[in-house]
Every structure is written in structure tokens, then in C-alpha cells.
Amino acid sequence: MTTTSPARTAAARGARPAPAERPRRLRTTAAVRRLVAEHRTHPADLVLPMFVLEGAREPVALGSMPGVVQHSMDSLRRAAAEAAEAGVGGVMLFGVPTTRDATGTAATEPDGVLNAGLRALVEEVGDAVVVMSDLCLDEFTDHGHCGVLDASGRVDNDATLVRYQEMALAQAATGAHMLGLSGMMDGQVAAVREVLEADGYTDTAVLAYSAKYASAFYGPFREAVDSQLRGDRKTYQMDPANRREGLREATLDLAEGADVVMVKPAMSYLDVLADVAAVSPVPVAAYQVSGEYAMIEAAAANGWIDRRRAIEESVVGIQRAGADFVLTYWATELAGWLR
């Protein structure tokens, strides 16, 4: 009796041969997809940026960032406690003062809005989350730049480092766990690390905004901090066209003693993030900035995208590129979904 193999029978019928490999087998059910997922977002991977407004009695909503507010001290505490309850890994605080001057005097006042806010956060959440401070002068200067200006109106890098050292000591004294150096001054990590060590703050960590680009995606943030900026920051923040330079900046910060390095923004700079993550011996962070937040919120409000799926996909994409943790304005909400 003669038998015909199934393959020959199929060939005789003109059917296509079976694929040699079927990757789709690992996508067949939600359980299978969950089992083989290469990256997972955990609440502890998320850091919530927060704004505290001097003199505010109630939180003030931001028109360009739906759901984000400038906090009063009371609402700051409540939001931090909510973030901690959700399992968020950290909070990053920005201060919004009512008065500003050329050198950002309010940034180093012990009872200034940022330092008072940091103390409130430490008191409220203790070590349950990492309390991070923004160490930069832009919120506190009447010209809106991240440093002090010289006689010609340009940012004076080395004079600014002195102010950063003063800010570092003021912020470390509040009990903040990690200082976020966001000003993009050359030598800022070494300057801050030196003064922290000299004054005994050896456990205070430094988060270096190593590759921070002069981006159009910071627009809504300017509303959040009531920025006084005139002109731009292209002489110290990085050119969006440059990839290799991002790795160079991160390498310099690592050599100066950064405990964490960061790429900002995230969305348009995933290649830079991947470059930095490939070589960094310390954790790598990325900041999903205000413009990234605003675009997804606006598209979702118009019914153009699925809001939750877009949020989750955007964050896991940043992690896939190499971020160990992500600063995102959705941190508490996303952590709640994950839990």
C-alpha cells in the first residue's frame, strides 16, 4: 500500500509550505505574553515630578498639563503620601517662588519655597520614597536662565558653580536624599560632590542631568514654574542634532562622581538613552517631559488615542531603551494601574 506524506499532499494542492519558525506562538494569550515580556514597569521604577508654589493656599491647576498642579504645602504632603502609598519610587520637587532676582537668592534661603518643600516631603514620607530636589537656578532668577549672568548677559559657568554649591548644601540640609543637577554647567557634578563631601553629606546622592537637550518639548513646564526666560538656553543645553555628544556628557559626569545619570527629554532621545545605558556603571534615568505628557493628554482628550495604553507604552518604551527609572507626571496614576 502506497502512502502520501501530508507535505506532499499539501504541495499537490498548491498550498504554501509551513514557516520554519512561528514567533506568534508566544503571543497567543495574555498569559503567554506576560510570561515572556522582556520589560516590565514596576511602581518603584517611577518618579513623580512635583511643583510647590510659594504662598499657595490651594493647588493651582495648569492649563497646559491637565491633571498637574502647583501645590500648596498641604496638598504637596497629601500628594506625596498618595505616591508613597501607590509604591512610587521617588518624587522630584521644583519650587516656584514669588520673588526672583539676578542670582536666584531664594534658592538658598533655608525657609525658601523649595527648601521648605523638601523638608515637608522628608517629614511626610521619610525613606518610603526617594526625595529628590531640582538643583538649578532657573525658577529663581528674574531672567529665567539656569545660572548667573556676566556683564555681557551670557551665563557665567564658573560663577554659577559657586551658586550650585550653595544650593547643594541648603538642599542637603533639608534631608533630601538625591540632588538633581539640571543646569548643564560644565563641572557641576564635581563642584557639588566636592562641597557635599567637605561638609559631611557623604550619603547625599547626585543625579546628573547629563544629556539635557535644548528641546521644544519643555513648553508646558515653563507654565508650571512661571518661567521668566527671555531668549533660549542653547549655549548650555545640548543641540538636538547631536548624539555622540550626549554620551560624552554622561561620561564626564560619571568621571566626576555622579551616582545616577539622566537623559532629558526621553521620547525623541531614545538613541542617546540607549548609548548611555550601554556603558554606564551606575543607574540611568530618563525624564518624560511636560511636552510628552501634554501631547498624549491632548490626543486622548480628542479621542484620537487610547490614553491608558499610550501612557503604558510610552513608559515601557523608555525602559526598553535602557532607563532604570523614569520621571513621569503619570507616576502615581500608572503605579495604581500596575498594582
* Rounded Cα distance, 186 and 157, in Å: 7
Catalytic one among 264, 273, 287, 311?
264
Question: Catalytic residue at 234?
Answer: no
Which are the contacts of 283, defined by CB distance < 8 A and separation ≥ 6? 259, 260, 261, 324, 325
Catalytic one among 212, 246, 297, 331?
212
User: Closest Cα to residue 103, out of 56, 28, 164, 192?
Assistant: 164
Query: Does residue 325 sit in helix, strand or coil?
Result: strand
* Rounded Cα distance, 164 and 159, in Å: 9
Coarse DSSP helix, strand, coil percentages of the chain, rounded to the nearest 5 percent: 45, 15, 40
Take residue 218 and report the three cell numbers written for it.
Answer: 519643555
Q: Do 145 and 155 form a contact (C-beta atoms < 8 A)?
A: yes
Which are the contacts of 87, defined by CB distance < 8 A and separation ≥ 6? 42, 43, 44, 335, 338, 339
Residues annotated as part of the active site: 212, 264
